[in-house]
């Protein structure tokens, strides 16, 4: 069985490593300096210390399962590229809202996923395994989530099949919307979002706006579930630099439009107040545009 990782960055490389270690045939799709480094070897640090040779390529191949780990703004390009090969089941393990819907425009057998695995790129070809997380998958098109979960669980990536994957994708995005832009704009690690009153006040409002949008869409949300989840994630990942802060530091484009931007779009359509999310969207996107990104 051949498994392809489309977007072998931090998370993709770590997941690919674990699947390869479990004995599957894995192909890593990457580009630029990351691809060149992976062609030499993949180094894993942190919770695991290891180095392996991997099959790294620039273009996708025929596979039984494709795990998609590209940034949300690359999903459309990835989907079009994958449509040219027999990419098998396609499971998104990305951040942000709307990835699966984009995939469905071009591909069949789409599985949605969310993961809280912690992975950071130390340097090209070197990934830090920062924290073991939980992974949830659920079907969007067809009935393949069980097969995906089996492969991931066989690879020691703890995965559960759920019926409410859309809700979980939204919840993760709302949590990211409350933590990531604050950490990026203030240049702080996740813990500061709860430790500094001024920042928590803002995160709380961001979470409440996201919660209102989720409720209006029809997702089942307990009172304070979102706010408590934001607090919990910020505390558990207190020493992490959020993905948005890491992108910001590297001068790379962030996923703000697929996180706060998606909440703003949905909230406005529903006639809800999403003004704080909109401020975050404009500040982060504005900073990117000002830097020519």
- Known catalytic residues? 172
CA 205/CA 272 separation, integer angstroms:
13
Yes or no: say if 293 and 252 are a contact pair by the CB < 8 Å rule. Answer: yes
Binding part of the chain for ligand KPL, among 57-65, 135-143, 174-182, 196-204 by CB under 6 A, reads 174-182
* Least Cβ distance, residue 246 to ligand KPL (angstroms): 8
**Residue nearer to ligand KPL on the CB measure, 3 or 175:** 175
CA 278/CA 263 separation, integer angstroms:
9
Cβ-Cβ contacts under 8 Å for 271 (sequence gap 6 or more): none
CA 145/CA 50 separation, integer angstroms:
30
| 13 in contact with ligand KPL (CB under 6 A) | no
Cβ-Cβ contacts under 8 Å for 20 (sequence gap 6 or more): 26, 52, 54
Q: Which DSSP category does 29 fall into?
A: E
| 19 in contact with ligand KPL (CB under 6 A) | no
Judged by CB under 6 A, the residue of 13, 92, 109, 180 near ligand KPL is: 180
* Least Cβ distance, residue 34 to ligand KPL (angstroms): 19
| 190 in contact with ligand KPL (CB under 6 A) | yes
Yes or no: say if 208 and 273 are a contact pair by the CB < 8 Å rule. Answer: no
Helix 197-217, helix 165-186: angle, nearest 10:
150
Binding part of the chain for ligand KPL, among 21-29, 136-144, 175-183, 280-288 by CB under 6 A, reads 175-183
Judged by CB under 6 A, the residue of 155, 159, 176, 212 near ligand KPL is: 176
* Least Cβ distance, residue 262 to ligand KPL (angstroms): 14
* Least Cβ distance, residue 22 to ligand KPL (angstroms): 24
| 135 in contact with ligand KPL (CB under 6 A) | no
| 179 in contact with ligand KPL (CB under 6 A) | yes
| 95 in contact with ligand KPL (CB under 6 A) | yes
| 120 in contact with ligand KPL (CB under 6 A) | no
178 is written with which tokens? 């409350």
Question: Within a 13 Å sphere around the CA of 161, how many CA atoms are in the beta-carbon half?
Answer: 13
Residues 254 to 283 in contact with ligand KPL, rule: CB under 6 A: none
| 94 in contact with ligand KPL (CB under 6 A) | no
Question: Strand, coil or helix: what is 208?
Answer: helix
129 is written with which tokens? 């395994």
Quickly count: other Cβ atoms within 10 Å of residue 192's Cβ.
17
* Least Cβ distance, residue 4 to ligand KPL (angstroms): 23
| 243 in contact with ligand KPL (CB under 6 A) | yes
Residues 213 to 242 in contact with ligand KPL, rule: CB under 6 A: 233, 237, 240, 242
* Least Cβ distance, residue 291 to ligand KPL (angstroms): 20
Count the residues of the shown chain that bind ligand KPL, applying the rule CB under 6 A: 10
Yes or no: say if 180 and 259 are a contact pair by the CB < 8 Å rule. Answer: yes
- In the chain, DSSP assigns E strands to 2-6, 25-29, 42-46, 50-52, 55-57, 65-68, 89-92, 110-115, 118-123, 126-131, 135-139, 159-161
Residues forming the site for ligand KPL (CB under 6 A)? 95, 176, 179-180, 190, 233, 237, 240, 242-243
């Amino acid at each position: 069985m051949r498994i392809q990782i489309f977007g072998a960055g931090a998370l993709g490389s770590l997941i690919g490593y674990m699947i390869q270690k479990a004995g599957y045939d894995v192909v890593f799709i990457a580009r630029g300096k990351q691809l060149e480094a992976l062609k030499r070897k993949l180094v894993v640090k942190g919770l695991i210390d290891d180095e392996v040779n991997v099959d790294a390529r620039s273009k996708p191949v025929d596979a039984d399962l494709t795990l998609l780990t590209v940034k949300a703004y690359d999903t459309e390009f990835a989907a079009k590229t994958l449509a040219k090969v027999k990419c098998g089941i396609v499971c998104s393990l990305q951040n942000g809202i709307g990835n699966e819907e984009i995939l469905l425009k071009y591909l069949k057998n789409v599985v949605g996923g969310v993961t809280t695995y912690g992975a950071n790129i130390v340097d090209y070809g070197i990934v830090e395994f920062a924290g073991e997380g939980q992974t949830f998958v659920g079907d969007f098109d067809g009935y393949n989530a069980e097969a995906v979960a089996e492969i991931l669980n066989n690879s020691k990536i703890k995965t559960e099949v759920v019926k409410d994957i859309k809700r979980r994708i939204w919840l993760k995005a709302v949590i990211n919307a409350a933590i990531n832009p604050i950490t990026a704009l203030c240049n702080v690690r996740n813990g500061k979002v709860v430790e500094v009153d001024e920042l928590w006040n803002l995160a709380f409002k961001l979470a409440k706006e996201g919660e209102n949008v989720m409720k209006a869409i029809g997702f089942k949300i307990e009172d304070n579930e979102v706010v408590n989840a934001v607090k919990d994630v910020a505390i558990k990942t207190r020493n992490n630099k959020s993905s948005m802060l890491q992108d910001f530091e590297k001068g790379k484009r962030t996923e703000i439009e697929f996180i706060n931007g998606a909440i703003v779009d949905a909230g406005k359509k529903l006639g809800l107040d999403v003004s704080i999310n909109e401020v975050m969207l404009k500040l982060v996107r504005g900073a990117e545009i000002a830097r020519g990104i």
